[in-house]
Amino acid sequence: MLQSVDAEVLMAAGYSVFLILTAFGLEWVARHSHRRCEQLRIAGFKYHHQPDIWVCPTGQSLTPVAVDHSRGFVRYRAPAHACNACSMKEMCTASDDGREIEHCPGAWLQSELARFQRRISLTLLFLAELLLVIEILLHNKPAELLFLGSLLVPMTLLGTQRLSAFFAR
């Protein structure tokens, strides 16, 4: 079947697949990077769901001091006197008000960086689909139409799913 497909169609299809793999690769790298940054930011600290506190490596509790429901985060702080007297203060915080942690459940999904990354992915997905549609309009052999259509349909379904998830957040 591929012998009867024009080389231009094969190259366009290959490039479309490359764009999609790039889009998902970029999202994966960004998500992975975000996760690693979060782990470094709270290294050594442990969260306890009940009674909703963070505990530092020296055992000091960080309690909630601010809640922003619209942005979905909670700010926790240790008492200033405890941090200022701590032998690990230099490695932990430069603040004289006590160590703070901002905890954002679902931070990756809610962050502006994630939305920016998803926009890039959706743009690459749209370009891949547009390239296939242009090739469909330019080529009318049944084998080429079948080949291009077999790529376009799953891409469109995937794009629709990703787009609806983007606007649902």
User: What is the pLDDT, as a whole number, of residue 105?
Assistant: 61
Q: How many DSSP H helices and E strands does the chain contain?
A: 6, 5
- CB distance 103 to 54 below 8 Å: yes
Confidence (pTM):
0.66
Average pLDDT for 67-82 = 85
At position 124, the amino acid (one-letter code) is: L
Query: CA 69 to CA 156: how far, in whole Å?
Result: 35
Average pLDDT for 135-149 = 92
Quickly state the pLDDT bin for 1 (edges 50, 70, 90).
low
What digits encode the pLDDT tens for the residues 91-116? 888 889 989 988 776 555 556 777 88
User: What is the pLDDT, as a whole number, of residue 5?
Assistant: 87
Average pLDDT for 36-49 = 82
The domain segmentation of the chain, as residue ranges, is 2-35+112-168, 44-105
